[in-house]
Amino acid sequence: MNVPESLSAWEAQRPAIRATLWRLLGDLPPLFTPDVQIVTTLEREHFTIEKIAFENGAGATVFGYVLVPRQGQRPAPAVLYSHFHGGHYHVGKDEVFLDRVSVPPLGPALAEAGFIVLAIDAYSFGERQMQGPAGSREMGADTEMALYKKLLWEGSTLWGMIVRDDLLALNYLCARPDVDPARLVATGISLGGSRTTWVSALDDRIALTVPVAQMTRYRDFVEAGSLNGHRIYFYVPGVLTTGIDMEHLVSLVAPRAQIILIGDSDPLSPVGGVRKVEAFARQVYTLYGAADRFQAAIYEGVGHTYTPAMFAALMDGLRRYV
């Protein structure tokens, strides 16, 4: 699809693009607002940690953390934080407490800045490592591969089910009386960046979208010969047959605020593709008169990582847009 020449042309394409994305994700169960149980509560100096669980309506229990600032305004702005992959299946939602040395633990940093933070385990991660067809006989990578195969047979996709769980989590956030549903943020690194982009492309409730170290343009990824860089979850059947690519997902977020944080040496996001995404999306934002609400920060010499400059850009974006 070419860059739209007018806002009316883009607005005419937009519903069909979103509908195509939903179709690609397969036959998914309906969305709803889950009945969330608070399993345990832990008090920290500046925030409370709620360990939560909910049934996703597809035979699986989703586990998560909610970090609630002990002080600050109510209702509060909130962050849907999507965790990374990296083959670290045991980490999952616990990434929000991970100290990367160069970047502080993101969950506490966001909570101390006044944001309610929600992070859930995606399929095959954290407490869901054994939620595959074989149960406790397989975990992590084996669970991921088995789920991918089973869901294809059922007419669905693993990626669709991962994104669906994120949207259920978003529904829960919006239903919390202590959350301001007009001030929602989605962010995450790597796998979490992909989840962030898809959730924001499919749901207009996200006010600020910040994918980190993830902006893979599918066709450029194929041309770069990098297909083994991403795990199997990433591959949505039929996506290359539609004319849709990452620039269209990013542009569906317009005119809402969006900050892309990516290194020009990230092997999982070939920089030529990133620049195509940036150029297309910038034109769409310009059509809305919202060019100042779109930023693509491409860091020279930076690979697949989270840098202090990226963290600073995230925090600046929170202050500016939320």
| Model pLDDT for residues 143-159, shown as the tens digit of each residue | 999 999 999 999 999 99
Topology at the third CATH level for domain 7-321: Rossmann fold (3.40.50)
pTM: 0.97
What Cα–Cα distance (Å) separates residue 227 from each residue in 5, 80, 153, 192, 216?
33, 28, 23, 18, 11
Q: What per-residue confidence (pLDDT) applies to 1?
A: 74
State which residues of the chain have pLDDT below 70: none
Instruction: Show me where the domains of the chain are located.
Output: 7-321
Q: What per-residue confidence (pLDDT) applies to 135?
A: 95
Q: What per-residue confidence (pLDDT) applies to 3?
A: 84
Residues 48, 182, 121, 299: is their CA dihedral positive or negative? negative
Burial class (CB in 10 A: 0-12, 13-18, 19+), 16: exposed
CA-to-CA distance for 279 and 293, rounded, in angstroms?
14
Q: What per-residue confidence (pLDDT) applies to 100?
A: 87
State what percent of residues in the chain have pLDDT above 70.
100
